[in-house]
Structures are given as structure tokens and as C-alpha cells.
Amino acid sequence: MLLAIAGFVACDSKEPSFELKPQLLVDKAEIIANGEDCVTFAVKFDGKDVTADATIHFADTHEALEGMTFKTKYAGEYEFYAQYGSAKSEIWQVYAKEDNNTPGPEPQDKELKLTVEPATIYVDESATFKVELDGNDVTADATIYLEEGNVAIEGATYTATAEGDYIFYAKYEDVTSNKVTLNVNKKVVEEEKPIKLVATETTIMANGVDSTKFTVTQDGANVTDKSTIYVNESILNGSRFITTTPGTYIVYAVKGEQKSNELTITAEEVASTGKSIVFAEGVTLTSGWYDVNKKGAGDNGDINMCWAAASSNMIQWFQDRYKAAGKTLPAGATDGPGVTSYTNYGPYELELMNIFHSEWDNSRGGHMQEAIPWYFEGKLNGGEFASEGSQAVPKTAGGYWKSIWDTEVFPYIYHGYENVIVPGVEGLDLKNLYITIFNNYYLWGNGTSYQGTERLAEFSKLIVESFEHGMAGLTVNLGANLNALSHAVTLWGYEIDNATGLVTRLWISDSDDLMSEPKTQLLNEYNVSIDEGKSHIKLTGNTRYGACYVVSIHPFAGYGVGI
């Protein structure tokens, strides 16, 4: 048994006993709180000096002293205990008394608050701590400790490697915070459910037009966009299968480690020619389409606004599809016939045109692939990089669907388009778009190797692709050399030769097809051919122009169409 010269008593003869022996102050447990005066501890165990192998701890925080001395600038009563191996001593008190040069026990009167966010995490996730002293953030200068072992963590973030409840506290100068508990749960990894592949048709005609659409589901959810579909062991681009080669095709889908059931699709040989007419969803020759016209002869500040008229037509069609799906338009959306009148000619056919008339600087022409995402999301799809003064620009932020777009709309529209302005340059290499531009020069025009009917075939494929996912706008030129002013129109439908896969007719609405008021909505029919002199896509019909030439296609996805 040991003698505790400062008042320690052994509690049980079977347990080790300790003696905390102050040096310097000999038989006193009092120092001056001046940051220099100190108390030195010595530890004996079973009559032996074990100071070198023992540690001294604050009784309230269990934090270990560095070495065997204690000094402080702040007056007050401090409690300690010694630990040697697994045994602990009784609590020993040291009183630090004030002198004229010390601030007294202020820090312990201040509140040091520790918080953690989130308070519950999973293994391998992280939580972040915040330390405040009387409401002031002192996290950067504080030290945060894991109570078990009194181990200081690095910085203010803790990443859990095992489940359990972890207790933390913080120290700032000589002030100790409250304790917080971080709950760490084990991640439960559910076994991935099987996937199922279904097709709208199992037999199609091998005419390059007839098609079947595949859908992949997993536990009742549509996961087509997250899956890869294979046709005869080749990856299918998208989810719609079209072919001109008769035969039997084996189709399956893969998502992660899951492989779906197999389907057999039969493509039958085309027995006869004939043509098919395809309109955008919800559109017929007599209904579902729109034709916003400029006012007067372009004397209403809208002379350059053909792009806005086409965009208004397309947006209204999208909103019709959204409502047809049982949805309610967001509060900021503009919908329906025009009510705002700028001239004696009355309002535009759609009130959407008023938005572009009043909220854009229309001193120059613009583009559908910029105007439409501006209306929905407040984005310009690269238009923000255009040279100043070169094109129409918005005066307001737009984004009338922004509040619901990412969560309630974007997942339910096709967004596999892209617009690479400058490859590899952030902001100019745009992906995951629902509207874009198919430029004639790069896809079927003089910048390609296609000639004659080959060009019309490529053009036809792009038209078919556009209507698989929605509809499209067109940019046309009134000159065969494509060097005159371009003009934007709205494409509502097409006719295609089933045997050749070539588009033969288009149905278009045009903001400039009438010169005088009162103007009426018209759906113009154009014949499609190749201008043999230039190999351009030529449109001819009983219209104001007589003939025009396609410069670009602007595919636009519809809500729930072709995803």
C-alpha cells in the first residue's frame, strides 16, 4: 500500500494505488495563474516511481497533459488524475490563484459550442463539425477530439470507418465545449433487382420507317436511359429499332450486372411501296399545330422575330403535351392564345410571342435552340458566347419552368442531343440537350462526302430521328446559294417513301407566309427534292416563296415522347 502525502487513500488492497506528488510546491497544490508558474506531478505505483510510464489527465475532458507539468494564465480550480496502464488514481485538485497580471477565469465562463452536421451518417461518409465561442465561429483555431482515447481529429471533418456512436468535444485555448454524438450506421446494400425488356412491336416492316420501341423496367421503374440495349450483339443507339434489312433480331438489355430477358424482333421484307405520313404527337392536318404570325408587314418591331414565332409554336406544343399527360403547368408559365395587343392588328396568335417581344432585344435575328431553353430554364445553350450585337439577346432571366424542370420534367423528356460549338471547351461543348441544331454543312451538305440522293437520305434520317422524340423547327434560306438571309419556320410533319426511306413532303407553319392583315394560321405543304445544281435540300410549294432551301434542323423533344 502507498502513502498519499497529499491526502490520497487506497480504496481496495487489490487495486493499484497512486500518489500524485507535487514537486516545486512540495506539500501545496496551488500555483500562480501567470502562465509561467507550474506544478510538476510525480507518480508512484506500489512504492516505485512510474512517472516516465504514466500520464496525467484533466478529470473533466480526460485530455492528457503533455508531460508532467501544468501551468495556466487563468485562475480557477483544476482537477487531474493519473493513469498507469489500466489503473487510474483518485482525483487531485490544483488551484491556480490570481495575481495582478492575469485575466482570471474568464474562458470557463464563456460558452464554447460544438455542433456536427449531419448527426447521423453511414460508414465511409463524413460529418463536419463547427465550433463557436459566444456565437463566433472559431472552428479554424479549435481542436476537436474523439472522446475515446482523447484523440484529436484532423481539421473539422470526420470520416467514419466503422459503425457505432462516437462522442466528440472541442478545445479552444483553455475552454472546453459540450459533447456531441455522431451516429454511424452500416450501409445496407440491397441486391439489385432484375430488369425486364419489353417492346411496342415484335414484328415490323424492314422499310427504314416502321419501328419498335424498347423499354427497360426495374422494380416497376423505367430505367431505359440507364441501360444499354443490344440488337444481335450490337449496341442500339437509343431505344427505337428501325431497319431496312429483313430478318430476325435478338434483343436484350444490360444495366450494371443485370441482364434482361431476350426478345425476338422480326423485320419483314417490304412487299410493296407506298408512303407514310408522320405528324408530331397530338398533331393532325387540321389540329394540334400553331402558326404565330408577325404583325403587319413586320412594322411592329418584330421584323427579325421569325425565330421567336417558331419557338412560341414549339413551346406551346410542348405545354400541350405536358397537360395531356395530366400535369399542371408551373405558375410562371405563359399559355394559350394571345391577349396582349401592340398594334391595331390585335394580339399574336399565342401569348408566348409577347414574352419574346417584350423580354428580348430583337434588333437582330435569333435562334430556336437558345430561345426555348431560356424560356424553360433560363439557359442559352451556348448563345451567351455569341459576339456582342450579332444576335437577339434576352433582357430578363427567363426560366419560367425552372422551379420544377430538373426534378419533374427533365427526367421525362429525351435529352440525348448535343451541340459541340468548340470541342473540348467547357461551355462550348454541350451535352444532354433536349433541343439542338443539325447543321446541313456538317451532316448532309457540302462539308460531307454525300452527293445527290445520298444527301436527301441523310436529311431524311435526321427528320425521322427528330420526330421519334418530338418535333422540330427548320432554318431555311430563300436563295439556292444559301448566302441570303435565313428564316426560321416550324416543322409539324413529314411524308416518307416506305421503300426508299426518303422524305417526300413536309408540313410547315411560317410567320411570314402572309403579307397583309388580317392574317390566318396556315399549314403549308412543301415537296422535298434535291436541287441538282447545288445538291441542296429544296422545298417547293404553293407558298409565298415558291422555293426555299434547308439550312438546319432544330429537333425538340416533347414531354413523354420517345424517351
Whether residue 518 has a cis bond before it, omega within 30° of 0:
yes
pLDDT in the model for residue 423: 67
pTM: 0.57
DSSP state of 440: H
Q: Distance between terminal CA atoms of the chain?
A: 84
Report which secondary-structure segment, H or E, holds 402: helix 402-404
Check residue 542 and report its DSSP letter: S
* Structural element, H or E, at residue 309: helix 306-324
> What pLDDT sits at residue 366?
94
Angle 294-299-305 (CA atoms, 0-180°, nearest 5)? 40
Instruction: Report pLDDT digits (tens) over 480-526.
Output: 888 778 999 999 999 999 888 899 999 999 999 998 888 999 999 99
**Are the beta carbons of 459 and 444 closer than 8 angstroms?**
yes
Between CA 428 and CA 384 the distance in angstroms is 10
| CB contact burial 293-305 (16+ within 10 A = b; e otherwise) | bbbbeeeeebbbb
C-alpha cell read off for 25: 510546491
**Over the stretch 123-178, which tens digit does the pLDDT of each residue have?**
989 999 999 998 899 999 999 999 998 999 999 999 999 999 999 999 998 899 99
Q: Which domains does the chain have, with CATH numbers?
A: 18-106 (2.60.40), 110-185 (2.60.40.1080), 195-271 (2.60.40.1080), 306-557 (no CATH)
Write out the chain's pLDDT in tens, 563 residues: 222 323 222 223 334 445 555 448 434 678 888 888 888 888 888 778 888 888 888 888 888 888 888 888 888 888 888 888 878 888 888 888 887 654 444 444 578 999 999 999 999 899 999 999 988 999 999 999 999 989 999 999 999 999 999 999 999 988 999 999 999 998 876 778 899 999 999 998 887 667 899 999 999 899 998 999 999 988 887 788 888 788 999 999 999 989 999 999 999 887 656 888 899 999 988 889 999 999 988 878 899 999 999 999 999 999 999 999 999 999 999 999 999 987 888 999 999 999 999 999 998 999 999 999 999 999 998 888 788 888 999 999 999 999 999 999 999 999 999 887 766 666 677 889 999 999 998 899 989 999 889 999 999 999 999 999 999 999 999 888 887 789 999 999 999 998 888 999 999 999 999 988 889 999 999 999 998 777 899 999 977 888 999 999 999 999 988 77
Q: What is the pLDDT of residue 106?
A: 46
